């Protein structure tokens, strides 16, 4: 690694080989996106990820850059921004994106079912306005017989429903390509490189403050020490632990999300319904298998070993079984779980927590030039 020379208003100066303008910690979609952006702006930047790029929350997601239909009434700004950003991603990474047509059936056993059907139509009418930003087709209101033609496996209790569009994305490839793009612009990126210490050296004698960072490169078993003018903590649910190394603090309310993989393709469309507790869940064709997701529960266990319990599997199967009675004829062949770095709020049900993002500036804690990214949707990186 060679030293670099940059221009400033006060003249030219050289940055040592092990000193960066910015070190980014975390190689998920937020960290990789920030890395690419800073590298393309000409900064000397380095990214460290303790596992594989995109292996954490990003890789454990539902792999959808969806607009957030369920937030349109409670957080319309989240829906608007997600749709807008999904449109940008479709233009810049179209080879990674694919359309997922969704079906929202309404069942006779739902309270005030006809009114619910009217409500679904009204909400999707509003969603169409934002959907244009991401190139979605407008929704269609369907009768029961029309829905059964699309999805014969649905219960005979269906009275009608509607279609709407979302977009899927190959998340791991997205993270990797963001990193590669940043490297091509001059940045340095390392996976399986865990940051084990962050020390802030305060300004003195005319020299600006900077950070000393200790990194354990696990693959080649070496320790590296670097310096950085600024630090971006993009550790996702691990973020508070990263911040604590530097003496900074912020809170998250981590939320666990579980997905099931069934052994064959069961549906033609992705289908949305409600679980027993009212949370929206979905069943979705994915290649030649089927996905069911997702749970949303507070989680304070190990972030490096997230279990999937029998109760969580049953919760998802029971929710889908109400609209597709023969779902259990298909075999669950795999599961996975991830943790959302949801913004902290006290007292709210997990499903009602904000999905907005926040950037914490730790300057007030005496750490000038350190920021932590929390919350947000996949599309909003």
- From the list 170, 304, 309, the residue with the least C-alpha distance to 237 is 304
CATH H-level superfamily of 255-340? D-Amino Acid Oxidase, subunit A, domain 2 (3.30.9.10)
pLDDT at 67: 73
How far the first Cα of the chain sits from its last, in Å, is: 29
Q: Which residues of 143-154 are buried (b: 16+ CB within 10 A; e: fewer)?
A: ebeebbebbebb
**What confidence tens digit (pLDDT) does each residue in 272-294 have?**
999 988 889 999 999 899 999 99
Res 265 pLDDT > 80: yes
Q: What is the overall mean pLDDT for the chain?
A: 91
For residue 26, the SS3 value is coil
Give the per-residue pLDDT at 379: 84
Q: Among 321, 342, 237, which residue's Cα sits nearest to residue 276?
A: 321
CATH tag, 15-58+172-251+355-380: 3.50.50.60
Among 217, 207, 252, residue whose Cα is nearest residue 344: 252
CA 48/CA 45 separation, integer angstroms? 10
- Confidence at 7, pLDDT banded by 50, 70, 90: low
- Which one, of 196, 197, 200, 218, lies nearest residue 209 by Cα? 200
Domain boundaries for CATH 3.30.9.10 within the chain? 255-340
- At residue 205 the predicted structure's pLDDT band, cuts being 50, 70 and 90, is confident
Joined together, the tokens standing for residue 55 give 């292996």
Q: Predicted confidence band at 1 (pLDDT cuts at 50, 70, 90)? A: very low
The kind and range of the H/E element at 372 are strand 370-375
Mean pLDDT over 81-93 rounds to: 91
Residue 286 forms beta bridges with which residues?
289
Confidence of residue 376 (pLDDT cuts 50, 70, 90): confident
Contact 155, 327 (CB under 8 A): no
> In whole angstroms, how far apart are CA 235 and each of 209, 247, 359?
23, 15, 12
């Amino acid at each position: 690694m060679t030293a670099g020379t940059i221009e400033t208003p006060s003249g030219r100066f050289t940055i040592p080989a092990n000193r960066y303008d910015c070190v980014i910690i975390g190689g998920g979609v937020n960290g990789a996106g920030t890395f690419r952006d800073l590298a393309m702006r000409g900064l000397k930047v380095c990214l460290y990820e303790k596992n594989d790029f995109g292996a954490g929350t990003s890789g454990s997601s539902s792999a959808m850059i969806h607009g957030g239909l369920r937030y349109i009434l409670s957080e319309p700004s989240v829906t608007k921004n997600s749709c807008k950003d999904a449109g940008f991603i479709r233009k810049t990474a179209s080879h990674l994106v694919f359309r997922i047509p969704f079906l929202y059936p309404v069942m006779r056993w739902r309270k005030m079912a006809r009114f619910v059907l009217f409500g679904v139509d009204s909400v999707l009418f509003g969603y169409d306005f934002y959907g244009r930003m991401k190139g979605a087709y407008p929704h269609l209101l369907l009768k029961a017989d029309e829905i059964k033609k699309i999805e014969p496996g649905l219960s005979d209790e269906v009275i009608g429903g509607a279609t709407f569009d979302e977009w899927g994305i190959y998340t791991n490839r997205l993270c990797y390509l963001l990193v590669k793009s940043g490297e091509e612009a001059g940045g340095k990126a390392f996976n399986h490189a865990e940051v084990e210490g962050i020390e802030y050296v305060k300004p003195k004698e005319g020299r600006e403050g900077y950070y000393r960072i200790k990194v354990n490169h696990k693959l080649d078993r070496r320790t590296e020490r670097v310096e950085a003018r600024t630090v971006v903590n993009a550790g996702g649910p691990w973020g508070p632990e990263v911040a604590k190394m530097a003496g900074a603090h912020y809170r998250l309310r981590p939320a666990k999300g579980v997905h099931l993989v069934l052994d064959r393709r069961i549906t033609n469309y992705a289908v949305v319904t409600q679980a027993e507790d009212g949370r929206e869940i979905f069943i979705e064709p994915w290649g030649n298998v089927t996905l069911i997701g997702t749970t949303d529960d507070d989680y304070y266990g190990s972030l490096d070993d997230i279990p999937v319990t029998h109760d969580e599997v049953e919760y998802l199967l029971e929710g889908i079984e109400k609209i597709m009675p023969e779902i259990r004829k298909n075999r669950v062949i795999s599961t996975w779980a991830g943790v959302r770095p949801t913004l902290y709020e006290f007292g709210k049900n997990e499903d009602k927590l904000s999905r907005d993002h926040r950037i914490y500036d730790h300057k007030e804690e005496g750490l000038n030039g350190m920021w932590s990214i929390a919350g947000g949707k996949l599309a909003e990186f």
